[in-house]
Amino acid sequence: MILEPLHLTPDRDIPGPVLTELTALYASNREFHALSGGDEFPDPDDIRPEQVAAALADELADPDIEVLLARSAGRLVGLAVTLAHHPDPADPDPWIGLLMVDATVHRQGLGRRLAAAVEARLFAGGRTAVRLAVLDSTPDSLAFWAALGYQLIGHRVDRRYHRPCSVLRKPLQDPRNPRMPRAAARVAVVTPDPDRAVLLLRYDNPGTGPYWALPGGGLEPGESPLQGATREVREETGWSDVTPGPLLCVWEHDFPYRGVPVRQHEHVYLARAPRRDLTGDLADAHAADAILAWRWWSLEELAATGETIWPPRLALLVAGATATDAQAPS
């Protein structure tokens, strides 16, 4: 299978032969159009070239959207539409907006191959995960994506027609160098004083060398990121009165965890607490996690240090999330 971008003419039109192929592709998927509804194709039994052209023109008007054509033995067998950046700034992942395979060649594994090709393309572009939304009225689609490793992360209504959808997400990895996925959560504990100091722990990892990171770690089975963050900050600081608040960021990174290559997906939360020492007997917990030391860092120190800080750009993230604190009267 070859995946290639849809190229337009100098007048921004779809070339005639390609539009003919696309119309046949759309028309073959009558059941999909009947279930998904919408005003682009009001009659699933009468899909017209001008309707296909108009639908794709709306997509291509967005510079973050890419329309990809899948060909096998020279024949157009599928289409994928990807969105590089979601309008929600808290969403760091690209999206698959549409994946369609010619219905006359369904059940031949082409859908899986097309999805894998799209994932590989996104990974090659530096992306670490991908999301998509499945209409709740299409349970077969939900089963298809779940079988490919996509996990349910929430529910929402679609932006155009306000239909209920399930939101799915899948971490991406290099197929030549697979890594074990690991879910984790951390807490940026920030003081209310003008320095807005952040507590960091110094870890020692033989595969990466020492680094400073926020209190946190891997999630336990059945544990939500927020539950894991609450437990981890208590276990690593001894504080039982720190409540994780808003989500500061989500990030992914590759590193060896106890000798196993992992791709770690972290939810990082913001919490407020006064500057103080760690409490309780933490020696065993710190030794188990290879924690060497701890200290409070001001935002200025974080921004200026040459040491490795996880997550990157932590000073900017905390500064942005606590900007109103700095503006409050003393």
Pick the CATH number of 2-171 from 3.40.630.30, 1.10.1200.10, 2.30.110.10, 1.10.3720.10: 3.40.630.30
Which pLDDT score, from 0 to 100, does residue 327 have? Answer: 52
Confidence check: pLDDT of 289 > 80: yes
Q: What is the mean pLDDT of residues 138-164?
A: 86
What pTM was estimated for this model as a whole? 0.56
Residue in this structure with the two tokens 């913001």, named with its chain if needed: 270
Write the pLDDT tens digit of every residue in 228-274.
999 999 999 999 999 999 999 988 888 888 777 888 889 999 999 99
Mean pLDDT of the chain: 90
CA 220 to chain centre: 21
The residues near 104 (Cβ < 8 Å, ≥ 6 apart) are 28
Which pLDDT score, from 0 to 100, does residue 25 have? Answer: 96
Are the CB atoms for 131 and 169 separated by under 8 Å?
Answer: yes
d(CA 262, CA 178): 9
Task: Give the Cβ contact number of residue 190 at 10 Å.
Answer: 24
Maximum Cα interatomic distance, the chain, rounded to a whole number of Å: 73
Are the CB atoms for 186 and 250 separated by under 8 Å?
Answer: no
Q: What is the mean pLDDT of residues 192-205?
A: 92
The residues near 323 (Cβ < 8 Å, ≥ 6 apart) are none
Whose CA is closest to 200, among 299, 319, 297, 288? 297
Using pLDDT thresholds of 50, 70 and 90, give the confidence band for residue 325. low
Which pLDDT score, from 0 to 100, does residue 258 have? Answer: 78
Instruction: List the domain boundaries for the chain.
Output: 2-171, 181-325
Confidence check: pLDDT of 4 > 90: yes
Confidence check: pLDDT of 329 > 50: no
Q: What is the mean pLDDT of residues 180-201?
A: 93
Which pLDDT score, from 0 to 100, does residue 311 have? Answer: 94
The reply to whether CATH 1.20.1440.230 applies to domain 181-325 is no
Write the pLDDT tens digit of every residue in 211-236.
999 999 999 888 899 999 999 999 99
Are the CB atoms for 114 and 139 separated by under 8 Å?
Answer: no
Whose CA is closest to 6, among 91, 93, 67? 67
d(CA 37, CA 48): 16
Which pLDDT score, from 0 to 100, does residue 94 have? Answer: 96
Are the CB atoms for 134 and 99 separated by under 8 Å?
Answer: no
